[in-house]
Chain A
Amino acid sequence: MITRSAHEMATALEAGDTTSEKLTQEHLDRIAAVDGDVHAFLYVDTEGALSQARGVDARRQSGEKVGPLAGVPLALKDVMVQHGVPTTAGSKILEGWRPPYDATVVAKLKQAGIVILGKTNMDEFAMGSSTENSAYGPTHNPWDLSRIPGGSGGGSSASLAAFEAPLAIGTDTGGSIRQPAAVTGTVGVKPTYGGVSRYGLIAFSSSLDQAGPCARTVLDAALLHEVIAGHDARDATSIDAPVPQVVKAAREGNVKGMKIGVVKELNGDGYQAGVRSRFEESLELLANEGAEIVEVSCPNFEYALAAYYLIAPSECSSNLARFDAMRYGLRVGDADGASAESVMNFTREVGFGREVKRRIILGTYALSSGYYDAYYGSAQKVRTLIMDDFKRAFNSADVLVSPTCPTTAFKIGEKANDPLAMYLNDIATIPVNMAGIGGMSLPCGLAPEDGLPVGFQIMAPAMQDQRMYSAAAALEASLLTKWGAPLLSQIPALGGSK
């Protein structure tokens, strides 16, 4: 059962072919068998998950109408707070903290009867593209354990590829849902900014962070999307409008007459040959399905990465100021006579990892008086230019596409000492966050040269998320026909039995 889609599991539950408790137990067993190798989870909430599963089973048995994903297990990125469950955001500074409240996304998951298996590994405070920046050790890519599973949400996508969970929640600030999805051969969606509440998402960069669904199929992602999306009065930036009909779009999967714009700047030089060939192949499949492929140009994307690395660190330098040992989390140096200031300093020195400190320093500098206009101010202007680029591009195309990342999964340790090389991995995903629009990644095959998954990115205008689901579902169906079986059926066996 664990290799099936979430939708199939839900159908089996509805038909009474299995129970949520059984299904949850199967996944817990799988985690116990393989997570020693994969390390997708930071915390497995065995008791909580089983008791939640039994609750859903009881509701279903009593004849209560339950949601379409009720009883299906899910892995939650550790950046989302869950009442009473250890939540670290991959950082030492939050070790042992048990949140006193549920994130809105978590409340919605519980409401929908989705069973939360545990918390998944991530780069500390979602800063990274490989999960190597986790204070609790890296996650390994189930396709090749010596490789990274992407980041920051490597734990969530690896858990899907390792069949430890059929659904996961990720968050995407510059690609942290889409890039891990790409390198693990799974589906990841960053909804329109404001489409999913950020209340309870531990902030990295408030104006860029967006939670979204991770799954193994487009339809599963859409089903989860509709569970977690919607206006939330607790998040002032949440959009007060109806949720785009993504499930309907994913079921129909129609690209007939759809104009698909290939972003000239997000292809070509710097993109691995196998990534490019799989991407081109997918374009042909879409054209065969009746889409019109056009080329669009977004000249200001060139500056996106630089602007991103001013805005995100600036906001994080402020967002992470609250970790000061005064009210929760780690406390270091609290000896007799130590001042509050020295406790704050020691705690932050010990509690934050290198990449987090690097970005705090960068952001603090960028916001300093005298530098603000040159750095933060200019970056915001670039942001406007990127939005303008998208606006123009969407005048000539319904959705835009590109490879999700320039390469397939690299080796653990390969880029750990070269932050700039690491940052470049997000070059194709960052513009979407800068503009606040929707973007998703779905698997489009394996790169011939290394046999590793390649991601296909689809972008849609704000609150038109259903468009990318339509295109993704159409492409997924074509690929499935071509392959005869889902891509993940080719994944090497892990320690446990599949």
Chain B
Amino acid sequence: MSLTYEEVILKYEPVLGLEVHVELNTKSKMFCGCATEFGAEPNTQTCPVCLGMPGALPVVNQKAIESSILIGLALHCSVTPFSRFSRKNYFYPDMPKNFQISQYDEPICVNGYVDVEIETEEGPKQFRVEIERVHMEEDTGKSLHVGGATGRIHGADYSLLDFNRAGIPLVEIVTKIVPGTGKYAPEVAKAYVAELRDILRSLGVSDVRMEQGSLRCDANVSLRLIGAETLGTRSETKNVNSLRSVERAVRGEMIRHAELLNRGERVVQETRHFQEDTGLTRSGRSKEQAEDYRYFPEPDLVPVEPDAAWVEILRVSLPEQPTLRRKRLQEEWSVPDKEMAAMINADALDIVEATVEFGADPTRARGWWLGEISRIANEKDVSIAELAITPVDVAEIVALVARGELTDKLARQVVEGVIAGEGKPSHVMETRGLKVVSDESALMAAIENAIAAQPETAEKVRSGHIPAAGALIGAVMKETKGQADAARVRELLLAHLGQ
């Protein structure tokens, strides 16, 4: 019996918990000097430390500490005056030391919150997601299981290990449980991750590319009967690689849990893996038996005791909060709510702002990025930022139109040319011969030609039947290959015919 989402929320209340792992964009790894660039040849960004060679020792990357504190501050957390790294002990082939250095019971930041806003039928609604902790840890290497049907370790013919990722600094941001979202749980989860991503991006501490794994979200979901006090058993969904997937994963898990509970079965406490293609999750590691990681303070490192004055310097250096920035820009640009939402959804805020900074009118800038440019991006299945057109280009196009050198229609061709790599807008305009014909003698010649070709139509206009002018204007536009400003042609034509 499969349930609809509406049926689920009539009976159950979802409780969320979100764990987000963020890869910091520090130049070097968490505990050694190795490079962190994404996509390098396997095992080329390694050294004795991140390979777990005998005798090698970790040293904390100070930049990673700074980034973690910035994150904590931006999430309204308190920065703890004393925090420590611990060892999380377990064996896995892609973990060089067979323990992970991670903060455990003494994290660097605690007790914060993020306010998120979602659109509902009753208008915008705010939710506060409370943050339990922000802590630092190192990433593991990557296993590639070759052969076998599933791409998993079991059944594989052999496995390859890449330690480039081993030791990349990670910050884990853990929320407290988030009750009270009701039917909006999937949207709140998505909005939270989106907000977090925006905050992290504004801090410049991470690339926050979900598709590259630099921002990973584990969504914990449990259900309880509406009105019940005790929490239900939760599942922890991993492999959620896009904002849309966060929403789908939460919704999917809510339905799956409800179906189990309705059948009188129990929800198994386990990790689940989100499947991008089906939107469903499949069972992963059971967490019924709590694993014993035998945590103890990392004896190779000293405690992290950030200087209070330094923390204050970092606090005042925080950039404008994304929510406040959005509100400010919406006001400055006088954007209606719906369009603002569209712009945020399309991830176009930064790029539009940059275009405005290069002198473009905000409405025009937004129009180009969300209109023609988005259309081309969709066609090519890339993001607008990936196209070969920049805010400078768009600002130039807006200026060309404003000066009457391009019509909107011609400007679209310029956009196309710039994206095709033909050069800067003015160059494309010149080489494609798209400049508006404003030489009036040339226009007059074309008008004379049109009148000569259609004397009867011209006569009609002369005698006051203005709508007939359309045919003549059309002929002029045809002759000038559309490069004339139609409004000006009309003016000249009517004047010429005594109207």
Hey, which bits of chain A sit against chain B, CB under 8 A? Answer: 80-81, 87, 89, 94, 97, 99-101, 103, 198-203, 205-207, 233-237, 314-315, 317-318, 321-324, 326-328, 339-341, 344, 364, 367-369, 372, 376
Cα distance A283–B91 in the bound complex, in angstroms? 52
Q: What B residues does A322 contact at CB under 8 A?
A: 52, 54, 96-98
> A236 touches which one: B53, B60, B292, B296 (CB < 8 A)?
B60
Q: Does B445 contact A (CB under 8 A)?
A: no
Q: With A99-B48, A202-B55, A318-B87 given, can you name 10 additional A-B contacts, CB distance below 8 Å?
A: A99-B53, A99-B55, A199-B56, A202-B54, A236-B58, A236-B302, A315-B299, A322-B54, A322-B97, A340-B159
Q: What B residues does A324 contact at CB under 8 A?
A: 91, 93, 98
Q: Which of B40-96 contact A (CB under 8 A)?
A: 48, 51-60, 87, 89, 91, 93, 96
Q: Are A326 and B93 in contact (CB under 8 A)?
A: yes
Q: What B residues does A314 contact at CB under 8 A?
A: 296
Cα distance A205–B296 in the bound complex, in angstroms? 13
Q: Are B300 and A89 in contact (CB under 8 A)?
A: no
Q: Does B342 contact A (CB under 8 A)?
A: no
Q: Does B99 contact A (CB under 8 A)?
A: yes
B45 to chain A, nearest CB (A): 15
Q: Are A236 and B56 in contact (CB under 8 A)?
A: no
Residue count of chain B within 8 Å CB distance of chain A: 31
> B57 touches which one: A236, A321, A344, A369 (CB < 8 A)?
A236
Cα distance A199–B54 in the bound complex, in angstroms? 10
Hey, which bits of chain B sit against chain A, CB under 8 A? Answer: 48, 51-60, 87, 89, 91, 93, 96-99, 153, 159, 161, 290, 292, 294-296, 299-302
Q: Are B302 and A237 in contact (CB under 8 A)?
A: yes
- The total of interchain contacts (Cβ-Cβ below 8 angstroms) comes to 104
Q: What B residues does A326 contact at CB under 8 A?
A: 93, 161
Q: Are A236 and B55 in contact (CB under 8 A)?
A: no
Cα distance A427–B57 in the bound complex, in angstroms? 29
Q: A321-B97, A340-B153 are in contact. Are A367 and B57 (CB under 8 A)?
A: no
Cα distance A97–B93 in the bound complex, in angstroms? 19
Cα distance A428–B170 in the bound complex, in angstroms? 44
Q: Are A101 and B53 in contact (CB under 8 A)?
A: yes
Q: Are A206 and B56 in contact (CB under 8 A)?
A: no
Q: Are B53 and A369 in contact (CB under 8 A)?
A: no
- Enumerate the 5 nearest inter-chain pairs by beta-carbon distance, A residue then B residue, closest first: A321-B98, A367-B294, A206-B299, A207-B299, A200-B55
Q: Are B54 and A234 in contact (CB under 8 A)?
A: no
B315 to chain A, nearest CB (A): 26
Q: Are B55 and A81 in contact (CB under 8 A)?
A: yes
> B296 touches which one: A198, A201, A233, A376 (CB < 8 A)?
A376
Closest to B47 in A: A101
Q: Are A94 and B54 in contact (CB under 8 A)?
A: yes
Q: What A residues does B91 contact at CB under 8 A?
A: 321, 324, 341, 344
A357 to chain B, nearest CB (A): 16
Q: Are B301 and A236 in contact (CB under 8 A)?
A: yes
A7 to chain B, nearest CB (A): 30
Cα distance A181–B250 in the bound complex, in angstroms? 65
Q: What B residues does A100 contact at CB under 8 A?
A: 48, 53
Q: What A residues does B302 contact at CB under 8 A?
A: 236-237
Q: Are A318 and B294 in contact (CB under 8 A)?
A: yes
Q: Are A368 and B294 in contact (CB under 8 A)?
A: yes
Q: Are B54 and A81 in contact (CB under 8 A)?
A: yes
Cα distance A341–B92 in the bound complex, in angstroms? 8
Q: What B residues does A369 contact at CB under 8 A?
A: 290, 292, 294
Cα distance A200–B47 in the bound complex, in angstroms? 13
Q: Are A327 and B52 in contact (CB under 8 A)?
A: yes
Q: What B residues does A233 contact at CB under 8 A?
A: 59
Q: What A residues does B60 contact at CB under 8 A?
A: 236
Cα distance A394–B476 in the bound complex, in angstroms? 105
B134 to chain A, nearest CB (A): 22
> A206 touches which one: B48, B52, B290, B300 (CB < 8 A)?
B300
Q: What A residues does B301 contact at CB under 8 A?
A: 236-237
Q: Are A201 and B59 in contact (CB under 8 A)?
A: no
Q: Are A203 and B55 in contact (CB under 8 A)?
A: yes
B148 to chain A, nearest CB (A): 11
Cα distance A324–B93 in the bound complex, in angstroms? 8
> A367 touches which one: B58, B89, B161, B299 (CB < 8 A)?
B89
Q: A236-B300, A321-B91, A340-B93 are in contact. Are A99 and B153 (CB under 8 A)?
A: no
Closest to B92 in A: A340
Q: Are A199 and B98 in contact (CB under 8 A)?
A: no
Cα distance A367–B161 in the bound complex, in angstroms? 29
Cα distance A100–B55 in the bound complex, in angstroms? 11
Closest to B154 in A: A339
Q: What B residues does A89 contact at CB under 8 A?
A: 54
A93 to chain B, nearest CB (A): 10
Q: What B residues does A103 contact at CB under 8 A?
A: 55
Q: What B residues does A198 contact at CB under 8 A?
A: 57, 300
Closest to A79 in B: B55
Cα distance A237–B297 in the bound complex, in angstroms? 13
B200 to chain A, nearest CB (A): 27
Cα distance A314–B99 in the bound complex, in angstroms? 13
Q: What B residues does A364 contact at CB under 8 A?
A: 294
Closest to A94 in B: B54
Cα distance A233–B300 in the bound complex, in angstroms? 13
Q: What A residues does B48 contact at CB under 8 A?
A: 99-101
Closest to B89 in A: A318
Cα distance A100–B51 in the bound complex, in angstroms? 11
Which of B58, B89, B290, B296 has the most chain A CB atoms closer than 10 A to its own CB? B296
Cα distance A97–B301 in the bound complex, in angstroms? 27
Q: 14 A–B contact pairs at CB < 8 A?
A: A100-B48, A100-B53, A200-B55, A200-B56, A237-B300, A314-B296, A315-B296, A318-B87, A327-B51, A328-B53, A339-B153, A340-B153, A367-B294, A376-B296
Closest to A343 in B: B93
Cα distance A324–B95 in the bound complex, in angstroms? 10
Q: What B residues does A323 contact at CB under 8 A?
A: 54
Cα distance A206–B91 in the bound complex, in angstroms? 20
Q: What A residues does B98 contact at CB under 8 A?
A: 321-322, 324
Q: Are B292 and A368 in contact (CB under 8 A)?
A: yes
A492 to chain B, nearest CB (A): 37
Cα distance A328–B48 in the bound complex, in angstroms? 11
Q: What B residues does A80 contact at CB under 8 A?
A: 55
B91 to chain A, nearest CB (A): 6
Which of A89, A202, A326 has the most chain B CB atoms closer than 10 A to its own CB? A326
Which of B56, B91, B299 has the most chain A CB atoms closer than 10 A to its own CB? B299
A77 to chain B, nearest CB (A): 12
> A87 touches which one: B54, B89, B97, B299 (CB < 8 A)?
B54
Cα distance A318–B60 in the bound complex, in angstroms? 19
Q: Are B57 and A199 in contact (CB under 8 A)?
A: yes
Q: What B residues does A372 contact at CB under 8 A?
A: 294-296
Q: A314-B296, A321-B98, A324-B91 are in contact. Are A234 and B57 (CB under 8 A)?
A: yes
Q: What A residues does B99 contact at CB under 8 A?
A: 318, 321
B31 to chain A, nearest CB (A): 9
B196 to chain A, nearest CB (A): 30
A395 to chain B, nearest CB (A): 26
Q: A321-B91, A340-B159, A344-B91 are in contact. Are A99 and B296 (CB under 8 A)?
A: no
Cα distance A344–B292 in the bound complex, in angstroms? 19
Closest to A89 in B: B54
Closest to A328 in B: B53
B238 to chain A, nearest CB (A): 21
Closest to B52 in A: A322
Q: Are A199 and B55 in contact (CB under 8 A)?
A: yes
A199 to chain B, nearest CB (A): 5
Cα distance A327–B54 in the bound complex, in angstroms? 11
Q: Are B53 and A321 in contact (CB under 8 A)?
A: no
Q: What B residues does A200 contact at CB under 8 A?
A: 55-56
Cα distance A352–B205 in the bound complex, in angstroms? 43
Cα distance A101–B52 in the bound complex, in angstroms? 13
Cα distance A324–B90 in the bound complex, in angstroms? 12
Q: A236-B300, A344-B91, A367-B294 are in contact. Are A201 and B96 (CB under 8 A)?
A: no
Q: A322-B96, A340-B93, A364-B294 are in contact. Are A236 and B59 (CB under 8 A)?
A: yes
